[in-house]
Amino acid sequence: MTVKEKAKLKTIVKKKPMKKVVTEVVAPTIVKFFEGVGRRKTAIARVRLFPGGEDKFLINKKDFKQYFSTLALQRMAESSLLKIKYPDSLTIEAIVSGGG
């Protein structure tokens, strides 16, 4: 090809139309809870009570019946809640670390 022929050849690039991206701003949901922290030696327990939630009792993101394998430990964990007659619409989340 000569230089003149190369000059005649032009590549045509068609640009695709840009899509408009619409983003919605979502307001964060505000969740109210009661929190308590307990410490003894090297053990730390942080417990959060969410009123008006589902009926859950979680320890380290596990159901308390999975966390406490024996029935005696499950009853011990639930005994104080049964004394105060806690409502069914209460979610309890406990994060426990340390200890023996």
- The whole-number average pLDDT for the span 26-55 is 90
Domain range for 82:
30-100
- With respect to residue 15, please indicate whether it lies within any of the assigned structural domains: no
Going by C-alpha positions, the residue among 11, 15, 82, 92 that lies closest to residue 58 is 92
Q: Are strands 62-63 and 56-59 parallel, antiparallel or unpaired?
A: antiparallel
Q: Look at residue 100 and tell me if it is in a domain.
A: yes
72 falls within a domain: yes
49: in domain = yes
- CATH code for position 96: 3.30.230.10
Residue 81 has pLDDT above 90, yes or no: no
Instruction: Supply the pTM of this predicted model.
Output: 0.65
| Amino acid in position 90 | L
Is 24 inside a domain boundary?
Answer: no
Q: How confident is the model at residue 82 (pLDDT cuts 50, 70, 90)?
A: confident
Q: Give the bridge partners for 81, in sequence order.
A: none
